[in-house]
Amino acid sequence: MTAASLRVMVVSEDVDLAHAVEHVVREEGDVFEHVKSIDEAVVSATAHPVDVAFVELACDGGAALALCHHLPTLCPNVAVHAIVSTRDLDRGGEALSLGAKGIIVSPPTGDALARALDDVKAEAVRGTQVNLLELKLTRERKKLETYDRLVRFARGAAQSDAVRAIVDGVSQISGARGVALYASFGDADAERVRLAAVGTALDLPATTMPADLSHLVQARHARAVPLVAGSGELGILVLEHMPPENEAEIASVADLAAAMLSLVDRNDQVDESVRVFPPRHFRTVADRMLTLASRHDRRASVLAITLPGPDRPNRREEATLEIADIVRNTDALCGTEDGDLLVFLPETAGIGAHSCRRRILARLSGDRRARSKTTSSRSQEPRSKGAPVSVGVATFPHDGSTLKRLIKTARARAYDDSRSPVHTLALEAMTLDEVVDALIARPMLDAGPRSPYPLDVAGSALFALVSRACREALRGGETTVTTTLQPGLGVAAAARQLAVPRVLDVRAAPGCANVEAVIIEAEHGAWVCCGRVIGERFRGVHCADPLLADILTRRLAAAGSPNAG
């Protein structure tokens, strides 16, 4: 990719200087213009936008300094370079403060002028590339939104409306000017029936034999894409006048149309699992969004949900439906793979992913009742006391740069989640003082990654530990800190050094007069430290457990009141 030629203006009364600049500009293949006063420069820039301006500050008795400000107002993209003599170097600082991009000492060398021109061209190329990538990202997000909208619509719509939505969606994704959907009815030699059409495909026959349809597709230079599901061929998708650059989208379009058509055929069976994207489609779209996130320095997250043993035969389908109602329909993908439920969240950093994790846990653990009558009655059934629902979170790029790595990390954290002391000690049913005492009494239950480790340190050591934890958390990006309030150099004072914590005073709550706690939630994980202040020492535990962080945050909010003192 190369930049177009530049329009270069020289503002100088020195003819020799102008000739030197002209020589370099011509060699670079750019357009040159020489003006000798401020008025001429303003008139020329108003008539023809300028890309680069070399302004000799001594021109017009030194008044040319004002052009460093005036030219950018006339040409917003202009790069102004001030040319100053060795005696007036201090005026170069004034030129930079007024908007100049750089300073060149007079007499200018050819290398200095060429570098200034090359920098402008390089910036133009870089801006074009960024615009193209932004356009591609916008296009991918629109496709993802179309996928999700079609799945949700087709599942509950009438058959005629659903197949029309399929055709409209495929037309938007592929960019084809004409799209028709023919049903196969399971027989390779049976007559094909047109279910829906849009655009230039509206004049295709309503019914046709397979051989006739093949000849018609060839004559019209269209594409015939078979729609195949587990039960065999469901139909044929005919695409007319599709842009060549969208040729790579054929496989994804075919998978989408086949899934939608299969969904319409089985609409009477109310199969909830069809709300989940197939693994192949899940991986394809997630890999593409990760690539774009890497190019644009964006974030993305993966959630791995592990369900407990099959206490009810349809538990998996229920969980899939509940998760589909929780995740955002504009930028979330839900898929199944190797027995896990996976959720891919593009444009979502660690803090947002943990918010989604909490919503999923609340729904699947029975803390919230579904709105429908059927689901409401199911939520009142006793839950299994076996393994709990566990959710692991992995965020790009903190936890990996590939989808495979993110899924592996999220699954490992889901396993760690199931072994959390929150479950082992039954902390959900305890008050704040009981939670703190239980953790102090039984730390390091299994020495796992989520087990709380004991702490028995002086107050100054606790202050240093919390300060270091806040500093490390802020290195990863967005961070939230919640602390208790105790006099002296407590955790609240340590957190205030680097962050703006949410301080809660729980000293008035029963059994909490000497409770000290801090919860740090960052892009790459959570850290908890809680215990009791006894004299000049702190006795408690610390661990990296997001479940315990959730429990303590709720208990602190219930027991204390906000205090910024």
State the CATH number of the domain containing residue 299: 3.30.70.270
Does some domain include residue 429? yes
Q: Distance between CA atoms of 533 and 557, rounded to whole angstroms?
A: 20
3-state secondary structure of 302: strand
Does some domain include residue 466? yes
Does some domain include residue 558? yes
CATH number at residue 191: 3.30.450.40
CA distances from 227 to 45, 187, 495 (A): 59, 13, 58
Does some domain include residue 28? yes
**One domain, residues 411 and 283:** yes
Task: Tell me what pLDDT residue 34 has.
Answer: 92
Q: How confident is the model at residue 366 (pLDDT cuts 50, 70, 90)?
A: low
Q: How confident is the model at residue 97 (pLDDT cuts 50, 70, 90)?
A: confident
**One domain, residues 342 and 320:** yes
3-state secondary structure of 197: strand
Does some domain include residue 309? yes
User: Taking the mean position of all CA atoms in its chain, how far away is CA 562?
Assistant: 32
* β strands within 371-493, DSSP E: 390-396, 453-458, 479-484
Q: How confident is the model at residue 1 (pLDDT cuts 50, 70, 90)?
A: very low
CATH number at residue 84: 3.40.50.2300
**One domain, residues 289 and 243:** no
The DSSP element (H or E) to which 100 belongs, if any, is none
User: Strands 300-306 and 340-346, how do they pair?
Assistant: antiparallel
Sign of CA dihedral 108, 112, 114, 119: negative
Does some domain include residue 82? yes
Contact 77, 107 (CB under 8 A): no
**One domain, residues 373 and 427:** no
> What are phi and psi for residue 154, nearest 5 degrees?
-65, -30
**One domain, residues 170 and 71:** no
Q: Distance between CA atoms of 353 and 368, rounded to whole angstroms?
A: 19
Residue ending a domain, choose from 215, 242, 269: 269
Contact 192, 184 (CB under 8 A): yes
**One domain, residues 445 and 545:** yes
Does some domain include residue 317? yes
Does some domain include residue 134? no
What's the token pair of residue 523?
Answer: 């892009």
- The whole-number average pLDDT for the span 89-111 is 87
Q: How confident is the model at residue 367 (pLDDT cuts 50, 70, 90)?
A: very low
Contacts of 293 (CB under 8 A, 6+ apart): 299, 300, 346, 347, 396
Q: How confident is the model at residue 446 (pLDDT cuts 50, 70, 90)?
A: low
Please state, rounded to an integer, the average pLDDT across all residues of the chain.
Answer: 79
Sign of CA dihedral 293, 294, 298, 303: positive
- The number of distinct structural domains making up the chain is 4
Q: Is the pLDDT of residue 380 over 50?
A: no
Q: Distance between CA atoms of 146 and 240, rounded to whole angstroms?
A: 20
Amino acid at 216: L
Residue ending a domain, choose from 83, 102, 124: 124
Of residues 310 and 162, more confidence is placed in 162
Q: How confident is the model at residue 155 (pLDDT cuts 50, 70, 90)?
A: low
**One domain, residues 366 and 457:** no
What's the token pair of residue 445?
Answer: 């239950």
Residue ending a domain, choose from 243, 269, 295: 269
Please, which residues bridge with residue 208 across strands?
192
Amino acid at 373: K
Structural domain boundaries enclosing 399: 279-418
**One domain, residues 297 and 414:** yes
- The whole-number average pLDDT for the span 323-337 is 63
Q: Is the pLDDT of residue 528 over 90?
A: yes
Q: Distance between CA atoms of 529 and 548, rounded to whole angstroms?
A: 10
Contacts of 282 (CB under 8 A, 6+ apart): 333, 335, 337, 342, 344
**One domain, residues 166 and 254:** yes
- The whole-number average pLDDT for the span 483-505 is 85
The string of pLDDT tens digits covering residues 248-305 is: 677 777 777 777 666 655 443 333 333 456 666 677 777 878 887 888 788 888 888 8
- The whole-number average pLDDT for the span 339-350 is 80
**One domain, residues 408 and 443:** no
Of residues 477 and 428, more confidence is placed in 428
Does 443 sit behind a cis peptide bond, omega within 30 degrees of 0 on the bond before it?
no
Of residues 46 and 371, more confidence is placed in 46
Q: Is the pLDDT of residue 159 over 80?
A: no
Q: Is the pLDDT of residue 371 over 50?
A: no
**One domain, residues 405 and 442:** no
Q: How confident is the model at residue 237 (pLDDT cuts 50, 70, 90)?
A: confident
159: closest CA among 200, 202, 199, 196?
Answer: 196
What are the DSSP calls for 232-283, one per residue?
A: EEEEEEEEES--GGGGGGHHHHHHHHHHHHHHHHTGGGT-GGGGSBPHHHHH
Q: Distance between CA atoms of 368 and 143, rounded to whole angstroms?
A: 32
Buried b (16+ CB within 10 A) or exposed e, 194-209: bbbbbebbeebeeebe
**One domain, residues 406 and 284:** yes
